[in-house]
Structure 1
Amino acid sequence: DEPTSALDPELTREVIEVMKNLSRDGMTMLVVTHEMGFALSAASEILFMEHGRIVEQGSPAEVRSGSGFERTRAFVGKLGDFRDYNDS
């Protein structure tokens, strides 16, 4: 649950890099995160929850397309505010 929530930016980058490497090596993970750049680059499936219920589920491409739940579209629409973890 939020593995980077109480970390400074440097430690956040280190933890995300370790998790990305594990993902590339084929490890299955269930991660709760607000780090959308990381989620979109490392996940095979993304779920959005609201009030404890799954409101949207799909591949990163499906979620990024913005065709689903209104709040998900608004959240994904702000991705320019998130760091792109594809190059880290």
Structure 2
Amino acid sequence: MSLLGSVSGFAAFGVLVRTYALGLQKRPLFSNPSGHAIAAAVFGGFGYYVHGLQQRQEDLIESKKEVLLKNRARAEEIAKKQAAFTQ
């Protein structure tokens, strides 16, 4: 997911949550637009954090995958040497 999509998606969700909460309270939805802006900023910031978290996790998974592939190749090499030695 792209950074812009993540941030804007979470920001839109924040505005939706704010509007829903005001609707439940039967208050005017757009009487105080700064509340919507604050909700969008908070949820957008959370979306930015989640995007960074996903990137860090993907990098960590990729590095662990490389280590596992190297270990597997080394183990296969050792097994071939042992098989050649025993014959």
TM over 0.5: no
**TM-score category of the 2 structures, normalised to the smaller one:** under 0.3
Bigger share in helix? 2
Higher relative contact order (CA closer than 8 Å, sequence separation 6+): 2
Bigger Rg over Cα:
2
Q: Normalising by structure 1, what TM-score? A: 0.24
TM-score by length of 2: 0.24
